[in-house]
Amino acid sequence: MTHMEALQTFAAERYLLNELSGRERDEFEEHFFECQECALDVRAGAAFVTQAGTELQSSTQAAPEPKRRPFFSFFTLPLAGVLVAAMAALLIYQNVVTLPRLRGEIATAEAPAAITATPLMGAATRGEDVPTVSATAGHPLYLNVDVPTDDRYAGYTLQVSGADGSHVASINISPEQAKNTLLVRIPAAEHSGGIYTLAIEGLQEAGMPGVQIAQYRFRVLNAN
């Protein structure tokens, strides 16, 4: 599942509401482990529901309970009220906060735009003579990359590391895609300034580690 698919299908909200099918749930979990934005949405939504449930349960526990309950009285238990109220709170949060942001992101992504991409072809692997990319908070980085192809490999992986060596992104590339210059999109995040590294690995047979076949470096400058 791509980030755009997650936005368009409201996967984070449906995940919290347990509305995803088994396959969709597996695909979304695999995605949000690598996507900071979706992971934050899931954590924020889960924390909101938990806090709302705690507050509502505290208030309902203070109310006196009747001495006798009719049959099927479980429908009036405080827990049922807590769950209903928590779901209502989640829907309010979704419609007031999450959905407007998602609609804005989708509209921006689908609107025609001229994209400036920084070419990494021939970029130095050592020294200070490296391409520079201007990063703006909330906007992705775009890079042009050539993959050195070889028939021995069944595919390729681009591994992007931050200035501190932290993992930024992993992108799988098919042999067909690798035949052309790639436009690589690194998802929006708070990119710290410094020298980043993009390593290209050739993928061998299943179970075998990738082989690094190229490495590019580029400098990220934070634009205010």
Per residue in 37-85, pLDDT tens? 777 777 777 776 666 666 556 555 555 555 555 544 444 445 555 555 6
Report helix angle 22-32 to 36-61, nearest 10: 110
Give the residue carrying structure tokens 């200035």.
163
Identify the CA nearest to 184 among candidates 137, 126, 143.
Answer: 143
Instruction: Tell me the C-alpha distance between 3 and 32, whole Å.
Output: 9
Averaged confidence pLDDT in the chain: 75
Provide the token pair at 128: 């200070």
Sheet holding 141-145, edge to edge: 118-119, 141-145, 182-186
Residue type, 67: K
Note the pLDDT tens digit of each residue in 128-141.
Answer: 578 888 887 777 88
Choice between 117 and 200, residue whose per-residue pLDDT is larger: 200
pLDDT at 105: 57
